[in-house]
Chains A and B, each alone.
Chain A
Amino acid sequence: MDNHKLPISKINQLFKNKELKPSELYSEVFERAANTESVIHGHLTLFQEENIQKALDADKRYEKGNNIGTLDGIPIAIKDNINISGHATTCSSKMLSNYISPYDATVITRLKNEGVLFTGKTNLDEFAMGSSTENSAYGPTKNPWDSSRVPGGSSGGSAAVVSAGSAVASLGSDTGGSIRQPASFCGVVGFKPTYGTVSRYGLVAFASSLDQIGPITNNVADAKLIFNSMNGHDPLDATSLTESKAQQPKLKNAKIGIIKELMGDGISEDAQQEVHKVAKLMESEGHEVVEVSLPLTKMSISIYYLIAPAECSANLSRFDGVRYGNRVTGNTSSEMMELTRANGFGPEVKKRILLGTYALSAGYYDAYYGQALKARAMMKKEFTDIYNDVDYLISPTTPSDPFKFGEKTDNQLEMYMSDLCTIPANLVGMPAISIPTGLSSQGLPLSVQLMSPANTDNTLLDFSQSLESLVAFSDKPSINGVTN
């Protein structure tokens, strides 16, 4: 049965026509999970038992005709840094291995109100810090296309389970590409909305000024559906936008800029080819494609690795073993906190906390964090200005197709470079989407990234949808000899 691969609107039709029940689809995705999880390890926890009653409730709603909306009864997986009341929120860290959340994130509340069925919590790089899920304290997730390769990260679990078919869609979080990069590696759609459009309340913060929750889906329409079910102002998040007035880019005869700085050194031939291929297709549709230069994008990794660690150094201070999480006892309270943190955090998290603490220290603030803030503001201006000339920007999502486990763990800079194309959208707070468009010479998925001005998310999604049908990418991975 392949219902889980269908677009959500189509599934909803089947539910409404009583050709399929939510509980049947629910069983189907868990069957997929049973067949794939041993290889993929995308989920940290599966909710099959706990939520079966909720699936039966959804059945009844459709039977009685009082179903809620298009997402009613749709099984969706949640990245394990988003709180669901009564369930573990581990952030793939030893620190929180025993932590059960007492509250729902706003996105969870909103999806629950839509009748969404949660399938479980998905694996990630510890506290969302990484690009491969190799930093998970619970073992890495494997790429459904090739289990010797990483699924990307940090939302590697969320991307892999959609690709493998053990969820119809998933939620990820994106701080520097953590939705788009794994979506690209796993051949699915990943969307990072405008900063502030989706509430961060209940998302365990990595870098507060960059984090944004978004959907990972089989197609753009699903991403749009989920995005519009969870966006909108949230009084619990002070950075949540109240209204978003913006001039919308054009859908027809649009002007698209290829970012010159993301097409040269460090970007594989395959990845560049993919952008050119898509550009030609768009031109054939009457769009204009031009090359544009955004010089500061070359600095985005440097800016990002000052701002994100600085924020995370404070955000992760609360994990001290005092009120929750794992505690390692000590002779004094400070020793207890030191041992708890030394024992609970993995090496990448420690590295970033140290980096951020240093960047904020007296005497270094101005040279590092202060400079990064200034550069970020300049970069934002550069992007705002370029959108006076073009409607959208296009680039590869990732510099290359998925890399192998261990390939970049010894070369951290190279690992960080894998987010080169995705980081700018976070730094400027603008929306960006990764759309799978083809396979590399190794038969692995490749994607392009489309970006648009702040608060033009739905237009970007609409434009992406037209591009998606133009490209008509339909390849699926095969796991244990079974193609999804």
Chain B
Amino acid sequence: MSIIPTIGMETHVELKTNSKMFCRCHVLDTDIPNESLCPTCLGLPGSLPVPNKKAIEFITLLALSTNCSITNDGMFHRKNYFYPDLPKNYQISQFDLPVGTEGSLEVVVDGEFGTVEIERVHMEEDTGKSTHMGSGRIDSATSTHLDFNRAGIPLVEVVTKPLIKSSREAVAYIEELRQLVIDLGISEGKLEKGNLRFDANISVAHDGDKELGTKVEIKNMNSLRSLEKAIEYEISRQTKMLLNEENIIQETRHWDEKKEVTTSMRSKEGSADYRYFSDPDIPNMILSDDFVNEVKSSIPVLPSQKRTVFIDSGLSIEDANSLVKSPNWIGDLYKSVSSITNDSKTSFNWITGELQGQLRKLELKSIPSWLTAKNLSEIITLVKENKISFTSGKEILGKLIEEELVPEEYAVNNKLIQENDIDEISKMVKDVLDDNKDVLERISNGEDKLIGFLVGQIIKLSKGKVNPSVAKELLLKELNS
């Protein structure tokens, strides 16, 4: 009987609002600690929270874009627990009436479509940041430094149902969610900056078991790579335990990036009672139908919609998905170029392979204004029609990145136009064969690799104007006749 893993993801998305969730402090991107503080986000006595409208708009955008049902009469709750970087010792969050429930997100796993089901999307405030000196943990630290710049930054927590089946699917989900929040313009979506932070709940069970296995929560995965590794590690750890009939305990485990193992942080038994109750400082969050419709009408083209357009243009799911994850101008350029060349795959390869490759080498983040869909298409068509070689096409593209030029003119002026007159090439083939009788002899004795040598001679004779594949084709025809 096989063992089936089940994964649920909890992801915190930091919204890119100008001000914090419940006060007017700026959301600052700074290394200087405690620069952006006020009585409210520092939890001073007498301060009060006032919800950020922009953040509510952003979470509504996200909830709608993940096909969630919107809670029209929602509420903020207080989640009570003591920790030094939590200014009020309660976090304003949402409990039984989150902004969005029962949604879904289309993902691409290994070139195939999948759906991740979303349980809830709720609004909360971030905590401050603790740096434990001399130790990773607060109770063994020599001192703890607290930075409250982050305290009160709006966070959206997106919780999936525990229906994810593999580490690859989990990674695909995070990639899709990341692209979604970037395209919606509600978050920077930078993993390395902690704009997206995720925990995974993992359990394993025998195939066919009616109940899920005991859930273990994994924290401290800071990249997609560590997410994939941590899930795989945890699945194999739990699988071994299940096969050995060992007892898996409900706990929180820490992903050790260096050792690539998970270690126990704390047991969930006797878990914290957060004593949730509705925050009396904040009136109910009424999201009127008018408001929701207004937000709905402002939804931009979503990654899934972009993907459909790319697939409809003739690309594979995987290629389409890679365009979705590229900067917008890449996708736009692809659309224009493929509509001119009428060749989706070739256009895709030129843009994502050659163009992006050369830009990367030059450390450029965008293309010059004169590099247009039109002249890029011209290069692609020249190559496609065998008027120039692939190598020449790459050369022209390189030049085009440097300076404005007309590809065909450049090809003519630099004698890159290939000889395509079959009679002319056949004549050259015959000339080369006449000059290399000894080679011909050796080929007929089985030295096939010398065919390449002859092709080279033909190209040399043509001063590089003959397309090698054409030359080879005609040469083989001559040899076999």
Contacts and interface: CB of A to CB of B under 8 A. Distances in A.
A156 interface: no
Interface in A181-211: 200-205, 207-209
B138 A333 contact: yes
Contact of A324 (B44, B89, B273): B44
A238 B48 contact: yes
Contacts of B276: 360
A314 interface: yes
Of listed A203, A204, A238, A324, residue having the most chain B CB within 10 A: A238
A102 interface: yes
Interface of A is mostly: loop
A86 to B, nearest CB: 14
B88 interface: yes
B80 interface: yes
A238 B281 contact: yes
A360 B275 contact: yes
Nearest to B141: A333
Contact of A317 (B49, B82, B138): B82
B277 A369 contact: yes
Interface string B3-25: 00000000000000000000000
Contacts of A473: none
Contact of A201 (B48, B90, B144, B275): B48
B138 A105 contact: no
Nearest to A358: B275
A208 B78 CA distance: 13
Contact of A236 (B45, B48, B78, B283): B48
Given A238-B281, A337-B82, A205 B87 contact: no
A102 B39 CA distance: 8
A280 B267 CA distance: 69
A201 B87 contact: no
A320 B275 contact: no
A201 B46 contact: yes
A362 B45 CA distance: 27
A318 B43 contact: yes
Contacts of A235: 50
Of listed B82, B138, B279, residue having the most chain A CB within 10 A: B82
A323 interface: yes
Interface string A419-449: 0000000000000000000000000000000
Contact of B46 (A82, A322, A369): A82
A204 B45 contact: yes
Nearest to A83: B46
A323 B145 CA distance: 12
A387 interface: no
Contacts of A323: 42-44, 87, 146
Contacts of B282: 238-239
Given A89-B45, A202-B46, A334-B82, A322 B146 contact: yes
A315 to B, nearest CB: 8
Nearest to A105: B46
Interface residues of B, number: 32
Interface of B is mostly: loop
A314 B278 CA distance: 11
A96 B45 CA distance: 10
B51 interface: yes
Interface size class of A (residues with CB under 8 A): 35 or more
B464 interface: no
Contacts of A365: 275, 277
Contact of B89 (A208, A209, A317, A369): A317
A37 interface: no
A256 interface: no
A453 B371 CA distance: 72
Contacts of B279: 208
Contacts of A101: 44-46
A314 B146 contact: no
A360 to B, nearest CB: 4
A209 B50 CA distance: 15
A226 interface: no
Given A238-B49, A318-B43, A360-B275, 10 more contacts: A89-B45, A103-B44, A203-B46, A235-B50, A239-B282, A239-B283, A310-B277, A317-B82, A317-B89, A323-B146
Interface of B: 39, 42-51, 78, 80, 82, 84, 87-90, 138-139, 144, 146, 273, 275-277, 279-283
Nearest 6 CB-CB pairings of A with B? A317-B89, A209-B280, A208-B280, A360-B275, A204-B45, A202-B46
Interface of A: 81-83, 89, 91, 96, 99, 101-103, 105, 200-205, 207-209, 235-239, 310-311, 313-314, 317-320, 322-324, 332-334, 337, 357, 360-362, 365, 369
21 contacts: A91-B45, A102-B44, A103-B44, A204-B45, A205-B45, A209-B280, A238-B282, A238-B283, A239-B48, A239-B280, A239-B281, A310-B277, A314-B80, A317-B80, A317-B88, A317-B90, A318-B43, A322-B84, A323-B43, A324-B44, A337-B84
